[in-house]
Amino acid sequence: MVLMLLAGAAALILSIFSFLDFTSMDPQDVDPFWTEVAEESQAQQGPGAEELSVQDIMLGLGVMVLLGGIILAALYTVFAFVGTMTGNVGRILATIFLAGSVFMILFGPANLIVTGLSLAALVALWLPASNTYVRDRKAFKDAARSPGPYGGPGQPGPQSPQGLGPASQGQHQPGSYQSGPYQQSPGQQGSPQQNPYQQNPYQQGPHQSGPRPQDDPYGGSTPR
């Protein structure tokens, strides 16, 4: 990323210098080709048109170079982030863009600085350290997109049976073998249930009346 940002900054700086060079150029030092271009343009416009001088042509060229440098700097900045943060697809697009910087040599030897930085950034994109970084970043994105144990990010957890909110740890949950006051537990299935109103043969119930047996000191019982 740093090398691509440096290449974009170098392209912008070179375009500024080129703009200043074009605008401050002496008409006598201009190539005769541009003088002929100015004369031909003036002849095509007619005698009543505004005169087109060589300085105007140089100014137009300087503005075009400056705009080109600004666009290049913006593209280098975009691909610096695309190539390092969007996986292998971004690296392939950044590689194609950086490989095209070789043609900048045709516009002057000063562009070798931009081309060299671009090629260095291209090599750095495919180093083992870059491969590890892209792989780890992809794994992090996949983990962030995958739903958690209770659903996607921001979704509430499981609701309690009473619907009062998410069930918290430590909250008493009803067991599958919870029994009522007259229900046998799993470990008491073999024992008979006792009726709360069942009485022994010598105890009167709530609605019974009659003589009550009296204990005999010799083991028997006699009615009262």
pLDDT 10s digits, 56-96: 888 999 999 999 999 999 999 999 998 888 788 889 999 99
Tell me the pLDDT of the chain averaged across its residues: 74
- Listing DSSP states for 104-164 in one string gives GGGG-GGGHHHHHHHHHHHHHHTSHHHHHHHHHHHHHHHHHHS-BTTBSTT---PBPTTSS
pTM reported for the whole predicted model: 0.59
* Highest-confidence segment of 21-30, 109-118, 194-203: 109-118
Look at 46 and 149; give whichever has higher pLDDT. Answer: 46
Lowest mean pLDDT among 10-19, 50-59, 73-82, 95-104: 50-59
pLDDT of residue 207 exceeding 70, the answer is: no
Look at 186 and 14; give whichever has higher pLDDT. Answer: 14
Q: How confident is the model at residue 170 (pLDDT cuts 50, 70, 90)?
A: very low
* CA dist 114 → 10, 105, 106 (Å): 6, 9, 12
